A and B are shown apart, each in its own frame.
Chain A
Amino acid sequence: MTTVAPRWPPDGQPATDKNAVIRIYGATRSYGAHKALDNVTLAIARNAFVFVTGPSGAGKTTLLKLIYLGVRASQGQVLVDGMNLARIGRRRIPLLRRKLGIVFQDYKLIPTRTVFENVALVLEAAGVPRRVLEQKVHRVLQTVNMAHRREALPPSLSGGEQQRVAVARAVVGDPLILLADEPTGSLDSESAAVVLELIRRFHQRGGTVVLATHDRQLIQSIPARVIRLVDGRSVEG
């Protein structure tokens, strides 16, 4: 018996981008009758900086979730660095997530762990030896200017500081792609600028960035591709 390898793109559809690290084809995600994403097709090139924007409820968060498998597409396909997410079992989800760094609006730091431990978690989970881990965490905390607070617990930090730690955690494992969901949404403009700068540096070192935001100022501050979502449909703009 011969097995046919899954083909991309499906017959009759043109490839959107040969160099894509993320490819989404006809992805729909429904919650009951409501379609949070409706037949979205897009490709994001390696080392691109892409904004995903649109009003609240347009599907920005859902789009990011499809990429990190926070949810699965109800229809359509999502490929990340060649992995077909529809075919990834529960056990292999960690392998996908180690290619990604994720930054959330609410930081999602573990409140009972120190700054150092929060960042180190990524490397521990990936099985990095202790000595290497300590060096890497120290270095990344220096780049986000948080090395002096390494023993602090997140609740004792300001929002801007917490988000810097969250960015440090997102990039410490040298991921391919940084996903950021309203990373500056809870920050004052000064802190927001610092966090955005850290994300830009990740991009400059060769990383791919997908940043969801509804903040126009933020979008205008960097020349980048913008994907607009309206009612779950994508409109490049």
Chain B
Amino acid sequence: MPLYLRKALQDIAANRFLNAVTVMTIALAVVITGAFGLFFINAGDLLDSWRRGIRLMVYLESDLTEARRLEIKYRLEQMAEVGQTRFVGRAQAMARLRGQMGPQASLLDGLEENPLPDAFEVDLQPEAVDADRVAALAGQIADLAGVEEVSYGRQWLERFGGLLALVRLAVYGLGGLFFLAALFFVANTIRLILYNRQEELTIMRLVGASERFIRTPFYLEALIQGAAGGTAGLGILYGIYLAAQANLSASLVGFGFAWRFLPWYSGLAVVAASMFIGWLGCFVSLRQFIKTA
């Protein structure tokens, strides 16, 4: 084993408690930031899946002729953004409504006549689904002769998108905050270790050790701490993810939605960032220590 690595591992073993605290701090920072990141990517996926499933309901004026209706269908299908169209007659719509209301469907028995209009259900091409284009398309369809109203979950779509932007901001903010917190802890742990070993460092200098010889094990130690903290944090996060997945998937059945963990490159980036925190913490305390010692 290379000399410096052996020294670093010896130092870690000799300062187990302080090292464990640092590793846990980094792990905690990774778990908290990572949890938000995980929520962010999965919420993004969920939004996408809902968008893909979005439909326009095109309600028709009453008393349309068959020819008129066919023309509307033809015009809809000519539009580039439109996937499939299905006619939902008023009787069929009433049957659906009864199905959705379940036991309360008896309330509908009192109606003298079916108040629901005929409608077309319009699936969209997946690439057409963003809030602006959907709004434009809805306007275009509403202008067709014989169309009474076009409805879709516009506000809902926009709100959810806004929420997601907020979460993204929170991820960045928290990421930065925990980065600083972890840095602070790492720097202070290493400073504690340095004070602990001040005499040892003096002796090393007296026997002709260069600054590089003295410092390199500290840097390696910090990199190992970072890697261990990052990996432990990811491990804990994965555990939480599995538990949450088991509990939440049941309530999302039918959306055709699959939860996913951070992609591998994000995992690597997390570990790399943790190692960077370790290195930077070490750099900061060694600089201060050399100044004060």
Q: Are A94 and B200 in contact, with the CB atoms below 8 A?
A: no
List of A residues within 8 angstroms of B14 by Cβ: 112
Asked, given contacts A112-B14, A124-B3, whether A94 binds B203 with beta carbons under 8 Å apart, the answer is no
Q: Are B206 and A68 in contact, with the CB atoms below 8 A?
A: yes
Interface residue from A70, A102, A113, A121 paired with B209 (Cβ < 8 Å): A121
The A-contacting residues of B in range 265-286, CB under 8 angstroms, are none
Q: Are B3 and A110 in contact, with the CB atoms below 8 A?
A: no
Residues of B within 8 A of A (CB): 3, 14, 199-200, 202-211, 213
List of B residues within 8 angstroms of A200 by Cβ: none
The B-contacting residues of A in range 44-91, CB under 8 angstroms, are 68, 70, 90-91
Q: Are A125 and B206 in contact, with the CB atoms below 8 A?
A: no
Please, how many angstroms separate the alpha-carbon atoms of A173 and B210 in the complex? 15
Per-position contact with B for A88-122: 1 when CB-CB < 8 Å, else 0?
00110111011010100000111011000000011
List of B residues within 8 angstroms of A164 by Cβ: none
Interface residue from A68, A70, A91, A110 paired with B200 (Cβ < 8 Å): A110
Asked, given contacts A110-B203, A112-B14, A112-B200, whether A94 binds B3 with beta carbons under 8 Å apart, the answer is no
Please, how many angstroms separate the alpha-carbon atoms of A108 and B199 in the complex? 8
Across chains A and B, the number of contacting residue pairs, with CB separation under 8 Å, is 50
Give the distance to chain B from A98, nearest Cβ to Cβ, in Å: 4
Q: Are B206 and A121 in contact, with the CB atoms below 8 A?
A: no
Q: Are B208 and A122 in contact, with the CB atoms below 8 A?
A: yes
Residues of A within 8 A of B (CB): 68, 70, 90-91, 93-95, 97-98, 100, 102, 108-110, 112-113, 121-122, 124-126, 130, 169, 173
Please, how many angstroms separate the alpha-carbon atoms of A97 and B208 in the complex? 5
Interface residue from B200, B208, B213 paired with A173 (Cβ < 8 Å): B208
Give the distance to chain B from A107, nearest Cβ to Cβ, in Å: 10
Asked, given contacts A112-B14, A112-B200, A124-B3, whether A91 binds B208 with beta carbons under 8 Å apart, the answer is no
Q: Are B208 and A98 in contact, with the CB atoms below 8 A?
A: yes
- Measured CB to CB, the nearest residue on chain B to A98 is B208
List of A residues within 8 angstroms of B3 by Cβ: 124, 130
Please, how many angstroms separate the alpha-carbon atoms of A97 and B210 in the complex? 10
Q: Is the interface of A mostly helix, strand, loop or mixed?
A: helix
Q: Are A121 and B204 in contact, with the CB atoms below 8 A?
A: yes
30 cross-chain CB contacts under 8 A? A68-B206, A70-B206, A91-B210, A93-B205, A94-B205, A94-B208, A94-B209, A94-B210, A94-B213, A95-B208, A97-B205, A97-B206, A97-B207, A100-B208, A102-B206, A108-B202, A109-B203, A110-B203, A112-B14, A113-B200, A121-B203, A121-B204, A121-B209, A122-B208, A125-B204, A125-B207, A125-B210, A125-B213, A130-B3, A173-B208
**Most chain B CB neighbours (cut-off 10 Å) among A122, A125, A173:** A125
Given contacts A125-B209, A126-B208, A173-B208, 20 further A-B contacts (CB under 8 A): A91-B210, A93-B205, A94-B213, A97-B205, A97-B207, A100-B208, A102-B206, A102-B207, A108-B202, A108-B206, A109-B203, A110-B199, A110-B203, A112-B14, A121-B209, A122-B208, A124-B213, A125-B204, A125-B207, A125-B210
Give the distance to chain B from A117, nearest Cβ to Cβ, in Å: 9
Please, how many angstroms separate the alpha-carbon atoms of A108 and B207 in the complex? 11
Please, how many angstroms separate the alpha-carbon atoms of A90 and B210 in the complex? 9
Give the distance to chain B from A166, nearest Cβ to Cβ, in Å: 10
Please, how many angstroms separate the alpha-carbon atoms of A108 and B205 in the complex? 12
Give the distance to chain B from A212, nearest Cβ to Cβ, in Å: 16
List of A residues within 8 angstroms of B202 by Cβ: 108
